[in-house]
């Protein structure tokens, strides 16, 4: 080092460059995010420059900008790379996410020549068609693997746990659906218990939740999975390249 090591001055410099990350009162630089490891990067930049520095960046609250310039220049190079990495990450996420409904260039060009009303109608139909194909494809794949009823039970448990078991406010339609499902699965539960000779006496004031009822019912008592029972959020693993072209017959 070209100067005597002083821990107190290093701490002062550390506080200085931490301001670049921001706090409750100051915004951070756009390229710096603690979640992306920016604090570690700043420390590494400082460690890299420290042996070459002729003096500390700060002294009793005063900033020597000529000493800070190499640090800021290094930060500038890092900023450019951060933006490149972020764009690449977003592009990759888009490519990897199969839940996006996309259309080829030919389809886009053909639709672009139509009126706004016709364009909206065709795109909506195409999206619905692709979503339906994805659900059918997923259902077929589960059937081939003999996993459809297991997956159906998973969806049921997830649905009624999220919608009704966590204190959310039900709508009238949800309440009707919940009561209907409770009655249905209660019958299946009773059938299973009778077959297993496992009759459980329930106290009058003891009420089982729908979630616990479904949990008890074995998959063999469930009906086959219908593609329409699969939520849109569950079809991200179906590749769009496996689907036939949608919407072309309407153009």
Q: Write out pLDDT tens, residues 103-116.
A: 666 777 777 777 77
User: Which pLDDT score is estimated for 245?
Assistant: 52
DSSP annotation of 166 reads S
User: How large is the average pLDDT for residues 142-169?
Assistant: 77
Residue by residue, DSSP assigns 113-157 as TS-HHHHHHHHHHHHHHHHHHHHHHHHHHHHHTT-HHHHHHHHHH
Task: Using the predicted structure, report yes or no on whether residue 93 has a pLDDT greater than 70.
Answer: no
Asked whether 75 and 38 are in contact (CB, 8 A), the reply is no
User: Which pLDDT score is estimated for 100?
Assistant: 53
The whole-angstrom separation of Cα 183 and Cα 204 is: 17
Task: Using the predicted structure, report yes or no on whether residue 35 has a pLDDT greater than 90.
Answer: no
Lowest-pLDDT range of 53-67, 167-181, 209-223 = 167-181
User: Which pLDDT score is estimated for 62?
Assistant: 93
The whole-angstrom separation of Cα 229 and Cα 155 is: 8
Q: H or E element: which one contains 18? A: helix 7-18
Q: Across 4-85, where does the E strand assignment appear? A: 58-59, 62-63
Of residues 229 and 89, more confidently modeled: 229
pTM recorded for the entire structure: 0.47
Alpha carbon separation from 219 to 83, 107, 148, 196, 225 (Å, rounded): 49, 42, 9, 15, 11
- Dihedral sign for Cα 240, 246, 248, 251, please: negative
The whole-angstrom separation of Cα 92 and Cα 236 is: 15
The whole-angstrom separation of Cα 100 and Cα 120 is: 17
Alpha carbon separation from 133 to 28, 137, 146, 238, 240 (Å, rounded): 45, 6, 20, 9, 9
Chain mean position to CA 57:
42
Residue 77 token pair: 């190079």
Task: Using the predicted structure, report yes or no on whether residue 42 has a pLDDT greater than 80.
Answer: yes
User: Which pLDDT score is estimated for 126?
Assistant: 81
Task: Using the predicted structure, report yes or no on whether residue 64 has a pLDDT greater than 70.
Answer: yes
Query: What average pLDDT does the structure give for the chain?
Result: 80
Within 10 A of 164 (CB to CB), how many other CB atoms are there?
19
């Amino acid at each position: 080092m070209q100067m005597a090591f002083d821990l107190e001055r290093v701490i002062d410099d550390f506080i200085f460059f931490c301001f670049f990350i921001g706090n409750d009162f100051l915004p951070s630089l756009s390229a710096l995010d603690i979640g992306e490891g920016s604090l570690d990067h700043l420390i590494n930049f400082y460690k890299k420059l420290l042996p070459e520095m002729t003096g500390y960046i700060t002294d009793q609250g005063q900033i020597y900008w000529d000493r800070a310039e190499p640090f800021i220049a290094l930060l500038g190079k890092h900023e450019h790379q951060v933006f490149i990495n972020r764009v690449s990450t977003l592009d990759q996420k888009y490519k990897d996410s199969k839940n996006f409904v996309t259309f080829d260039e030919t389809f886009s060009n053909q639709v672009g020549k139509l009126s706004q009303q016709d364009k909206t109608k065709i795109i909506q139909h195409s999206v619905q068609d692709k979503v339906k194909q994805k659900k059918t494809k997923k259902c077929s794949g589960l059937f081939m693997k003999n996993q459809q009823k297991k997956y159906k039970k998973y969806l049921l448990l997830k649905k009624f746990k999220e919608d009704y078991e966590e204190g959310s406010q039900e709508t009238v339609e949800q309440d009707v659906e919940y009561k209907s499902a409770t009655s249905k699965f209660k019958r299946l539960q009773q059938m299973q218990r009778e077959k297993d000779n496992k009759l459980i006496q329930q106290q009058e004031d003891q009420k089982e939740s729908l979630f616990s009822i479904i949990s008890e019912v074995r998959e063999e008592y469930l009906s086959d999975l219908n593609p329409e029972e699969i939520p849109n959020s569950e079809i991200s693993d179906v590749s769009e390249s496996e689907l036939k072209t949608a919407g072309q017959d309407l153009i």
